[in-house]
Structure 1
């Protein structure tokens, strides 16, 4: 398969993997608490990445381990918990669409804290995207009054953490492969995630013997291996074959896949929510229309 065809194959594969993550979280919550789900996902991902990418850890310099740790906590561990808690109250498709605000928030964080600048169209994109996010939460609240749509703020907070993480990697972790960064950060995260599992009674034999717990573990296992570990490897390869603009276009496809799974799972989704989701995607498109330029400030 030629590189031109291969990059499209990777893009679609990545959209399917990441877009399916939200329904897997929903299924995993049937037998696990948000803390247990997030911790098991992180611990299993750590084991997989250590096996695959341990040699890459040698690229990390001693002074960079601080940023590797920060990247791990705000780029993986905390968002994993936030999305799990969010899906106890809001639909998986809504959480996926709110996750697409990452490029918009990265633009804002980069502007105010990392010295990046953007043009007028990008500013408009940020405003449009955030308006769409608010509209999506309000539309969902009216459609599903029994759900607590204040929990819709949690994916936005997680997306903000992703935005900080993207700028940290760009500013402080240059020269390290993406697999090296991921492996190093998950080595650090393995220990707190195991501690959380222990203190939440995860290792209790009676708990693990429950059928719904075992089913949930299966879903989260698929999520960790395919939706986290494998997806990171594919994304790294996609960047090598294409460019950042093409690679981040996966943002437009993830909500489509998540919406498909949500509808199949019986989630209600009306035209108002669809319109709000469309507004977010327009904002993402505008904010990425021009390449950002980093200043010397």
Structure 2
């Protein structure tokens, strides 16, 4: 299979995997608390990343370890728990749409913290996307008055942290391999995750004897292996065989998959919310739109 066909195949597979992650979190929460789910997810992911890539961390310098640890904190550790807590109150489909804010905050934080310049289109895109997010949260709180939509702020905070992580990798970890960053991230996270895992009583008798224990553990296992391990390697490969602009196209497809899973699970989603989601994706499009080159 040529690179052209392979990049489209990777794009579709990644969209399905990451779009499915939100419903897997929701199902995992049937048997676990957010702390239990997040810590189990980190421990399982660490185990499998160590199996395939432990040697990759040998080339990380002492100075780079600080940024690798910070990258792990912002890019995985805190967001894992933020999404878990958020989905105790808001629908998985809403979480998948709000995650599309990552490219918008990446541009904004890149300018504020790292002095990376941006275009007029990107400014408009950031403002458009934020307006769509506010509208989506407002409409969702009206349609689902039994849900606490303040928890949507946890997803927004997670996207800000993802954006910080992207800028850290771009500006501070250019010399570290993608596998080295991933393994280093989880090497830093696994000890606190183990502490949280055992202190939360994730495998205590009351939890093990619960109705959803085995099914929830299965969902978290799939989430850890596919949603983190496989997807990270595949996304790195996608960047290598295509371009950054093509790679971020996955941002447009993830909410589609997330919404479909939500509807299949009985979540309510109105046409007004579709409109708000479209506004967010329009903002993402403007942020990633190439600057036009004048013809001579």
The equivalent residue for 1:274 is 274
CA distance in 2: counterparts of 1:116 and 1:44, whole angstroms: 36
How is 1:1-297 mapped onto 2 (pairs within 5 angstroms)?
A: 1-290=1-290
TM-score by length of 1: 0.96
CA distance in 2: counterparts of 1:169 and 1:77, whole angstroms: 16
**How many residue pairs are counted as aligned between the two chains?**
291
**Deviation of 1:247 (Å):** 0.7
**Deviation of 1:243 (Å):** 1.1
CA distance in 2: counterparts of 1:204 and 1:142, whole angstroms: 39
CA distance in 1: counterparts of 2:18 and 2:60, whole angstroms: 27
Deviates most, 199-208 or 92-101: 199-208
CA distance in 2: counterparts of 1:188 and 1:278, whole angstroms: 37
Q: Give the superposed CA RMSD.
A: 0.9
CA distance in 2: counterparts of 1:34 and 1:208, whole angstroms: 16
- The answer (yes or no) to whether the contact 2:100–2:284 under 8 Å persists in 1 is yes
TM-score by length of 2: 0.97
1:165-204 Cα offsets, whole Å, 9 max, x none, are 0000111111111111001110111111110011111132
Unaligned 5+ runs, structure 1: 292-297
1:209-233 Cα offsets, whole Å, 9 max, x none, are 4341121111000000011111001
User: Residue 223 of structure 1 aligns to a residue in which SS?
Assistant: helix
CA distance in 2: counterparts of 1:167 and 1:288, whole angstroms: 15
CA distance in 2: counterparts of 1:49 and 1:245, whole angstroms: 27
- The answer (yes or no) to whether the contact 2:32–2:207 under 8 Å persists in 1 is no
**Deviation of 1:59 (Å):** 2.4
CA distance in 2: counterparts of 1:204 and 1:274, whole angstroms: 42
**Deviation of 1:267 (Å):** 0.3
**Deviation of 1:127 (Å):** 0.3
Quickly say closer, same or farther: Cα 1:33–1:126, change in 2 above 3 A. same
- The answer (yes or no) to whether the contact 2:131–2:280 under 8 Å persists in 1 is yes
CA distance in 1: counterparts of 2:222 and 2:209, whole angstroms: 19
Unaligned 5+ runs, structure 2: 292-296
**Deviation of 1:119 (Å):** 1.0
**Deviation of 1:266 (Å):** 0.4
1:61-111 Cα offsets, whole Å, 9 max, x none, are 111111111110110010010001000000000000000000000110001
CA distance in 2: counterparts of 1:208 and 1:74, whole angstroms: 31
1:127-146 Cα offsets, whole Å, 9 max, x none, are 00000000000000010011
**Deviation of 1:206 (Å):** 4.3
CA distance in 1: counterparts of 2:209 and 2:238, whole angstroms: 40
CA distance in 1: counterparts of 2:289 and 2:279, whole angstroms: 15
- The answer (yes or no) to whether the contact 1:122–1:290 under 8 Å persists in 2 is no
CA distance in 2: counterparts of 1:172 and 1:51, whole angstroms: 26
User: Residue 212 of structure 2 aligns to a residue in which SS?
Assistant: helix
CA distance in 2: counterparts of 1:266 and 1:211, whole angstroms: 21
- The answer (yes or no) to whether the contact 2:31–2:207 under 8 Å persists in 1 is no
